[in-house]
Amino acid sequence: MFINGVLNDMNGNPSQGSLNWSHLQLGQLFGGVEFGQQWRRENGEYDQLALDVFHAGTRSIFNPNTTPNKAGAGFKILGEKQWGRVVGFGAYTYNTAQGGGISTTFSGNTAAAGVALLRPFGIVGEAAVAGMWSLPFKNIFPGSGQRAQYGIETYWNIALTPNSTITPGIQLIFNPSFNPTVDFIAVPDVKFRVSI
Protein backbone atom coordinates (compact mmCIF):
# COMPACT_ATOMS: atom_id res chain seq x y z
CA MET A 1 0.00 0.00 0.00
CA PHE A 2 1.27 3.51 -0.72
CA ILE A 3 0.33 7.17 -0.17
CA ASN A 4 1.82 10.09 -2.11
CA GLY A 5 1.13 13.79 -1.73
CA VAL A 6 1.91 16.99 -3.61
CA LEU A 7 1.53 20.73 -2.95
CA ASN A 8 2.43 23.25 -5.67
CA ASP A 9 2.25 27.02 -6.08
CA MET A 10 -0.16 27.70 -9.00
CA ASN A 11 1.91 30.82 -9.77
CA GLY A 12 5.22 28.95 -9.78
CA ASN A 13 7.53 29.49 -12.72
CA PRO A 14 10.21 26.81 -13.17
CA SER A 15 12.09 29.01 -15.67
CA GLN A 16 13.14 31.32 -12.83
CA GLY A 17 15.80 28.81 -11.83
CA SER A 18 15.34 29.33 -8.09
CA LEU A 19 12.61 29.37 -5.48
CA ASN A 20 10.56 32.57 -5.46
CA TRP A 21 8.02 32.89 -2.65
CA SER A 22 7.00 36.49 -3.45
CA HIS A 23 3.74 35.47 -5.21
CA LEU A 24 2.75 32.58 -2.92
CA GLN A 25 -0.90 32.91 -1.83
CA LEU A 26 -2.94 30.38 0.15
CA GLY A 27 -5.87 30.24 -2.30
CA GLN A 28 -3.56 29.75 -5.28
CA LEU A 29 -2.18 26.30 -4.59
CA PHE A 30 -2.53 22.86 -6.15
CA GLY A 31 -2.79 20.02 -3.66
CA GLY A 32 -3.33 16.34 -4.18
CA VAL A 33 -3.02 12.96 -2.51
CA GLU A 34 -2.81 9.49 -4.04
CA PHE A 35 -3.85 6.30 -2.27
CA GLY A 36 -2.89 3.01 -3.89
CA GLN A 37 -2.35 -0.68 -3.49
CA GLN A 38 0.02 -2.96 -5.38
CA TRP A 39 -0.24 -6.72 -5.41
CA ARG A 40 2.85 -8.68 -6.49
CA ARG A 41 2.53 -12.40 -7.05
CA GLU A 42 5.24 -15.01 -6.51
CA ASN A 43 5.92 -15.26 -10.25
CA GLY A 44 6.72 -11.52 -10.38
CA GLU A 45 3.42 -10.43 -11.95
CA TYR A 46 1.63 -7.48 -10.39
CA ASP A 47 -1.67 -5.63 -10.18
CA GLN A 48 -2.23 -2.04 -9.07
CA LEU A 49 -5.19 0.15 -8.14
CA ALA A 50 -4.92 3.83 -7.15
CA LEU A 51 -7.13 6.84 -6.43
CA ASP A 52 -5.88 10.42 -6.79
CA VAL A 53 -7.86 13.30 -5.21
CA PHE A 54 -6.87 16.89 -5.98
CA HIS A 55 -7.83 20.57 -5.68
CA ALA A 56 -6.51 23.44 -7.81
CA GLY A 57 -6.89 27.08 -6.86
CA THR A 58 -6.78 30.10 -9.15
CA ARG A 59 -3.64 31.98 -10.12
CA SER A 60 -2.84 35.68 -10.31
CA ILE A 61 -0.03 35.65 -12.92
CA PHE A 62 0.51 34.14 -16.40
CA ASN A 63 -2.27 36.17 -18.07
CA PRO A 64 -5.20 34.97 -15.94
CA ASN A 65 -7.60 37.19 -17.91
CA THR A 66 -6.86 35.55 -21.25
CA THR A 67 -6.72 31.87 -20.27
CA PRO A 68 -9.10 29.73 -18.18
CA ASN A 69 -8.67 30.38 -14.48
CA LYS A 70 -11.31 28.72 -12.29
CA ALA A 71 -10.69 26.85 -9.05
CA GLY A 72 -11.98 23.31 -8.77
CA ALA A 73 -11.30 19.75 -7.73
CA GLY A 74 -11.52 16.23 -8.97
CA PHE A 75 -10.31 12.66 -8.82
CA LYS A 76 -8.61 10.05 -10.95
CA ILE A 77 -8.93 6.31 -10.59
CA LEU A 78 -6.48 4.06 -12.37
CA GLY A 79 -5.55 0.41 -12.42
CA GLU A 80 -3.30 -2.18 -14.03
CA LYS A 81 -3.66 -5.96 -14.26
CA GLN A 82 -0.98 -8.34 -15.52
CA TRP A 83 -1.53 -11.74 -17.16
CA GLY A 84 1.87 -13.15 -18.12
CA ARG A 85 3.40 -10.84 -20.75
CA VAL A 86 0.13 -8.91 -21.20
CA VAL A 87 -0.77 -5.88 -19.04
CA GLY A 88 -4.20 -4.24 -19.20
CA PHE A 89 -4.60 -0.69 -17.92
CA GLY A 90 -7.32 1.91 -17.56
CA ALA A 91 -7.99 5.31 -16.00
CA TYR A 92 -10.82 7.82 -15.57
CA THR A 93 -10.48 11.46 -14.49
CA TYR A 94 -13.25 13.80 -13.34
CA ASN A 95 -12.19 17.44 -12.99
CA THR A 96 -13.87 20.81 -12.32
CA ALA A 97 -10.69 22.98 -12.23
CA GLN A 98 -10.34 25.03 -15.40
CA GLY A 99 -6.99 26.32 -16.51
CA GLY A 100 -4.01 25.74 -14.29
CA GLY A 101 -0.61 27.08 -13.41
CA ILE A 102 2.35 25.45 -15.12
CA SER A 103 0.19 22.94 -17.02
CA THR A 104 -3.29 23.67 -18.33
CA THR A 105 -6.49 21.64 -18.03
CA PHE A 106 -9.30 22.04 -20.54
CA SER A 107 -11.12 18.74 -19.95
CA GLY A 108 -13.75 17.85 -17.37
CA ASN A 109 -13.91 14.13 -18.16
CA THR A 110 -11.20 11.89 -19.58
CA ALA A 111 -11.03 8.09 -19.90
CA ALA A 112 -8.33 5.83 -21.33
CA ALA A 113 -7.88 2.07 -21.54
CA GLY A 114 -5.48 -0.20 -23.31
CA VAL A 115 -3.24 -3.22 -23.33
CA ALA A 116 0.55 -3.66 -23.46
CA LEU A 117 2.68 -6.62 -24.49
CA LEU A 118 5.94 -6.99 -22.57
CA ARG A 119 9.10 -8.08 -24.45
CA PRO A 120 7.58 -8.34 -27.95
CA PHE A 121 9.72 -10.60 -30.20
CA GLY A 122 11.99 -11.14 -27.17
CA ILE A 123 13.15 -7.50 -27.22
CA VAL A 124 13.31 -5.67 -23.89
CA GLY A 125 10.52 -3.08 -23.71
CA GLU A 126 6.80 -3.08 -24.46
CA ALA A 127 4.36 -2.44 -27.28
CA ALA A 128 0.98 -0.95 -26.42
CA VAL A 129 -2.29 0.26 -27.89
CA ALA A 130 -4.85 2.38 -26.05
CA GLY A 131 -8.09 4.21 -26.67
CA MET A 132 -9.03 7.59 -25.21
CA TRP A 133 -12.16 9.73 -24.78
CA SER A 134 -12.16 13.33 -23.55
CA LEU A 135 -14.95 15.86 -23.02
CA PRO A 136 -13.81 19.50 -22.65
CA PHE A 137 -15.55 22.10 -20.54
CA LYS A 138 -18.43 23.79 -22.34
CA ASN A 139 -17.27 27.05 -23.96
CA ILE A 140 -13.96 27.08 -22.09
CA PHE A 141 -12.80 29.41 -24.86
CA PRO A 142 -15.24 31.94 -26.37
CA GLY A 143 -17.13 30.25 -29.21
CA SER A 144 -15.36 26.91 -28.69
CA GLY A 145 -18.52 24.91 -27.96
CA GLN A 146 -18.14 21.43 -26.58
CA ARG A 147 -17.12 18.44 -28.68
CA ALA A 148 -16.03 15.06 -27.40
CA GLN A 149 -12.65 13.92 -28.68
CA TYR A 150 -11.70 10.29 -29.30
CA GLY A 151 -8.32 8.80 -30.00
CA ILE A 152 -6.19 5.72 -30.44
CA GLU A 153 -2.50 5.62 -29.66
CA THR A 154 0.00 2.86 -30.28
CA TYR A 155 3.73 2.78 -29.57
CA TRP A 156 6.66 0.39 -29.20
CA ASN A 157 9.17 1.20 -26.44
CA ILE A 158 12.43 -0.52 -27.51
CA ALA A 159 15.46 -0.81 -25.22
CA LEU A 160 18.64 0.08 -27.15
CA THR A 161 21.00 -0.20 -24.18
CA PRO A 162 20.41 -0.74 -20.44
CA ASN A 163 19.91 3.04 -20.05
CA SER A 164 18.42 4.18 -23.39
CA THR A 165 15.20 3.58 -25.31
CA ILE A 166 13.62 4.64 -28.59
CA THR A 167 9.82 4.75 -28.89
CA PRO A 168 8.14 5.11 -32.28
CA GLY A 169 4.38 5.64 -32.15
CA ILE A 170 1.33 7.22 -33.70
CA GLN A 171 -1.79 8.96 -32.36
CA LEU A 172 -5.05 8.91 -34.30
CA ILE A 173 -7.38 11.69 -33.13
CA PHE A 174 -11.05 11.81 -34.10
CA ASN A 175 -13.20 14.97 -33.66
CA PRO A 176 -10.44 17.16 -32.17
CA SER A 177 -12.17 19.24 -29.49
CA PHE A 178 -10.71 22.61 -30.40
CA ASN A 179 -10.46 22.15 -34.16
CA PRO A 180 -14.09 21.83 -35.34
CA THR A 181 -13.18 22.12 -39.03
CA VAL A 182 -11.22 18.84 -38.94
CA ASP A 183 -12.61 15.38 -38.12
CA PHE A 184 -9.38 13.34 -38.13
CA ILE A 185 -5.69 13.96 -37.38
CA ALA A 186 -2.78 11.48 -37.42
CA VAL A 187 0.27 12.43 -35.32
CA PRO A 188 3.33 10.19 -35.73
CA ASP A 189 6.12 10.56 -33.19
CA VAL A 190 9.49 9.17 -32.15
CA LYS A 191 10.84 9.59 -28.62
CA PHE A 192 14.41 8.94 -27.51
CA ARG A 193 15.30 8.64 -23.84
CA VAL A 194 18.61 8.30 -22.01
CA SER A 195 18.82 7.86 -18.24
CA ILE A 196 21.98 8.49 -16.28
pLDDT tens, position by position, 163-190: 999 999 999 999 988 888 889 999 999 9
How many angstroms separate the CA atoms of 84 and 92, rounded? 25
- Rg of the chain taking only CA atoms, in angstroms: 19
Tell me what percent of the residues of the chain surpass a pLDDT of 90: 54
Question: For residue range 115-167, what is the model confidence (pLDDT) as tens digits?
Answer: 999 999 999 999 999 999 999 888 777 666 678 999 999 999 999 998 999 99
Does an H or E element contain 169, and which? strand 164-174
Q: Which of 48, 128, 126, 50 is nearest to 82 (CA)?
A: 48
| Cα 64-68-70 angle, rounded to 5 deg | 90
pLDDT of residue 7: 82
At 59-71, the pLDDT tens digits run 776 555 566 778 8
Mean residue pLDDT across the chain: 86
Which DSSP category does 66 fall into? T
> Sign (positive/negative) of CA torsion 83, 5, 12, 73?
positive
Which long-range contacts does 33-39 make (Cβ < 8 Å, 24+ apart)?
A: 33/3, 33/4, 33/5, 33/6, 34/2, 34/3, 34/4, 34/5, 35/1, 35/2, 35/3, 36/1, 36/2, 36/3, 36/4, 37/1, 37/2, 38/1, 38/2
What is the number of H-type helices and E-type strands within the chain?
0, 12
Question: In this structure, what is the dihedral angle of CA atoms 110, 76, 137, 175, given to the nearest 10 degrees?
Answer: -10
Q: Which amino acid, one-letter code, is at 67?
A: T
Domains in the chain (CATH in brackets) are 1-105 (no CATH), 108-196 (2.20.200)
What one-character DSSP code corresponds to residue 121? G
Assign 18 a pLDDT band (cuts: 50, 70, 90).
low
